[in-house]
Amino acid sequence: MNTTIQNILVLITLGLALAFLVKKFFWKKSAPKKSCGGDDGCGCH
């Protein structure tokens, strides 16, 4: 029982670590939406 819980915890930790690394190095952040309220050269006029 104890071994199973420990193995589950290892897998969860591994999953979190992999998710963090993928997010850090491969996840492309979407560009923030620019306001179209003024003449800020955002190209939407």
Partner 1 sequence: MSKQINVALIGNPNTGKTSVFNALTGLNQKVGNYPGITVEKKQGVCKLPRGVKAHIIDLPGTYSLNASSLDENVVIELLLNKNDKDFPDIAVVVSDVENLKRNLLLFTQIKDLEIPTILVINMADRMRYKGISLDIEYLEEHLQTKIALISTRKNEGIDELKQLISNYKVVSVTPCLNPSNIDKTYFESLEKAFPNQSLYKLWLVITQDVNFGKTDRNEVQAIASFKTKSKADLKRLQQKETIKRYQFINNVLKKGQTIDRSQAKDLRSKLDRVLTHKIFGYLIFFIILLTIFQAIYDWAQIPMEFIDGAFASLGELTKNTLPEGAFTNLIAEGIIPGLGGIVIFIPQIAFLFLFIAVLEESGYMSRVVFLMDRVMRRFGLSGKSVVPLISGTACAIPAIMATRNIESWKERLITILVTPFTTCSARLPVYLIIIELVIPEGRFLGLGYQPLTLMLLYLIGFGTSVFSAWILNKVLKIRSKTFFVVEMPNYKLPLFKNVGLTVLEKTKSFVFGAGKIILAISIVLWFLASYGPGENFNNAENIVKTEFASQNLSQGELQQKIASHKLEHSFIGITGRAIEPAIRPLGYDWKIGIALISSFAAREVFVGTLATIYSVEDDDVDTITNRMAKDTNRITGGKLFTLASGISLLLFYAFAMQCMSTLAIVKKETNTWKWPVLQLIIMTAFAYIVALIAFQFLK
Which three-class secondary structure state does DSSP give residue 14? helix
Tell me the per-residue interface mask from 6 to 25 with partner 1, x by CB under 8 A, - otherwise: xx-xx--xx-xxx-xx--xx
Sequence-separated (6 or more) residues with CB below 8 Å from residue 36: 42, 44, 45
Least distance in angstroms from the C-beta of 35 to partner 1: 12
Least distance in angstroms from the C-beta of 26 to partner 1: 10
- 13, 6 contact by CB (below 8 A): no
- Residues forming contacts to partner 1 in the complex (CB under 8 A) are 2-3, 5-7, 9-10, 13-14, 16-18, 20-21, 24-25, 38-41
